[in-house]
Amino acid sequence: MKVVAAAATDIGRVREGNEDSYLSDPPLFAVADGMGGHRGGEVASHLALDTLERLFRKGRGVLAEQIQEANRVVFERAQLDRKVAGMGTTLTAASFADGTLRLAHVGDSRAYLLREGTIQVLTEDHTLVHRMVEKGEITEAEADVHPYRSVLTRAVGVDPAVHVDEATVEIVQGDRVLLCSDGLHGMITDDEIAGILAAESDPNRAAEDLIEAANRAGGVDNITVVVLDFVEGDEDPLAQATAAKAREVGPRPRRSRGRGKRVALSLSIAAAVTLVALIGLRVWLDAQWYVGVSDGRVAVYNGIPAEVLWFRLHHVSVVTDVRANDAQHLAPWAGIADGIPANSRVEADHIVERITKDVRSAAKSAAGGGGQGTGSGA
């Protein structure tokens, strides 16, 4: 059995830069979704994947250890270069050898398995909303539209060490695996993803169709997909070498729990991490922007649309003269009251421009008689 891969990335319809990266270099595949401003996000996702690829080629350690090393490299760069301070990235990687797919994962990008028409998520989102769902505070459906749905609880490069989820999947010929950033699974449902993957057998066209669907649904984020088809044929020679190596190391557990050494290491750095987290939170908040509502007007905010205990984690930066009500009636901006996240100040301004344009053209088509009747209910 061998793997045939197709990968694609797209800036989407709102963002000003593409901070996603992917790796499609059989038998290693990965997606990374960077954060921390334009420059930081791009640097983080590229640096993490470059490091991962280099270590994988050298055959140093297993995938999870290679990602932990990538974490260290990104973290150190962020400490050294003020322009990328606070940067980080998600990273979902898969390597295929000997009929087994090994997954290693941090963040909210995802891996899916499509087997005989049924889709299954192979990774767990490391997000605040996922934690809230697990605690029973909100439902899955509420999580999907939650304003902080992209706030991560774990990322590569933001702390000196990171815990990496691991999983293995015994692949059956005909399986299709998808790695994707949240720009895909945040825009369309798992059922829609499954439908597209099932409808298009060519992996390149399937990848393009997924991106097109996410853009049609709004494209509010960068979109990255890697489609892996497992078909009849001989495995990549490097994959066989990797498999031999993996056998020497011995079988990996399905999902590593914090064991012995790793627990001790985590505890010894816990204090340092807490300190970094407190300083980091301030720095991080300063780098966060969103578009929301202030006094009934569309406004640009610095921070995140949340309050923790009695601390407001945001302040108004600019209030526009666009009425929030007018924006709320337009489908893409219905959630503006909860805040529309942006990666930078420039991007927040860009979102405001789009809202202003949409509101004006809606007003024009309403004045022109007929029009498309955007939300007469409210």
Task: Pick between residue 9 and residue 320 the one whose CB is nearest to Mn ion.
Answer: 9
CB 44 to Mn ion: min, Å:
12
Backbone torsions φ then ψ of 287, nearest 5 degrees: -95, 0
Q: 268, exposed or middle or buried, with CB in 10 Å at 0-12, 13-18, 19+?
A: exposed
CB 222 to Mn ion: min, Å:
6
Task: Pick between residue 181 and residue 320 the one whose CB is nearest to Mn ion.
Answer: 181
CB 278 to Mn ion: min, Å:
25
Which residue stretch of 21-29, 70-78, 173-181, 303-311 sits at the interface with Mn ion (rule: CB under 5 A)?
173-181
Which residue stretch of 32-40, 204-212, 282-290, 334-342 sits at the interface with Mn ion (rule: CB under 5 A)?
32-40
CB 227 to Mn ion: min, Å:
18
d(CA 171, CA 297) in angstroms, rounded, equals: 53
Reduce the DSSP state of residue 156 to 3 states and report it: strand
Which residue stretch of 54-62, 96-104, 183-191, 236-244 sits at the interface with Mn ion (rule: CB under 5 A)?
183-191
Reduce the DSSP state of residue 267 to 3 states and report it: helix
CB 190 to Mn ion: min, Å:
17
Q: Which of 165, 166, 182, 208 binds Mn ion (CB under 5 A)?
A: 182
8 A C-beta contact, residue 293 and residue 305? no
281 closest CA partner among 188, 371, 89, 151: 151
8 A C-beta contact, residue 246 and residue 62? yes
8 A C-beta contact, residue 343 and residue 37? yes
Residue 125 interacts with Mn ion (CB under 5 A): yes or no: no
Which residue stretch of 29-37, 98-106, 115-123, 335-343 sits at the interface with Mn ion (rule: CB under 5 A)?
29-37
Count of chain residues binding Mn ion (CB under 5 A): 5
CB 159 to Mn ion: min, Å:
20
Which residue stretch of 43-51, 111-119, 179-187, 283-291 sits at the interface with Mn ion (rule: CB under 5 A)?
179-187
d(CA 117, CA 132) in angstroms, rounded, equals: 30
Q: How many alpha carbons fall within 13 Å on the CB side of residue 188? A: 22
d(CA 5, CA 12) in angstroms, rounded, equals: 22
| Structure-token pair, residue 303 | 């921070």
Q: Mask 187-226, x = binds Mn ion (CB under 5 A)?
A: ----------------------------------x-----
Which residue stretch of 79-87, 182-190, 191-199, 278-286 sits at the interface with Mn ion (rule: CB under 5 A)?
182-190
Which residue stretch of 96-104, 119-127, 175-183, 224-232 sits at the interface with Mn ion (rule: CB under 5 A)?
175-183
Q: Which of 10, 33, 159, 208 binds Mn ion (CB under 5 A)?
A: 33
CA dist list (Å): 276 to 154, 271, 298: 14, 9, 34
d(CA 169, CA 178) in angstroms, rounded, equals: 13
* Pairing relationship of beta strands 176-180 and 223-231 according to DSSP bridges: antiparallel
Task: Pick between residue 18 and residue 95 the one whose CB is nearest to Mn ion.
Answer: 18
CB 221 to Mn ion: min, Å:
4
d(CA 64, CA 287) in angstroms, rounded, equals: 29
**End-to-end Cα spacing for the chain:** 56
CB 28 to Mn ion: min, Å:
21
351 closest CA partner among 262, 257, 170, 221: 221
Task: Pick between residue 42 and residue 326 the one whose CB is nearest to Mn ion.
Answer: 42
CB 352 to Mn ion: min, Å:
20
Task: Pick between residue 51 and residue 181 the one whose CB is nearest to Mn ion.
Answer: 181
d(CA 378, CA 365) in angstroms, rounded, equals: 18
CB 24 to Mn ion: min, Å:
18
Residues that bind Mn ion (CB under 5 A): 33, 181-183, 221
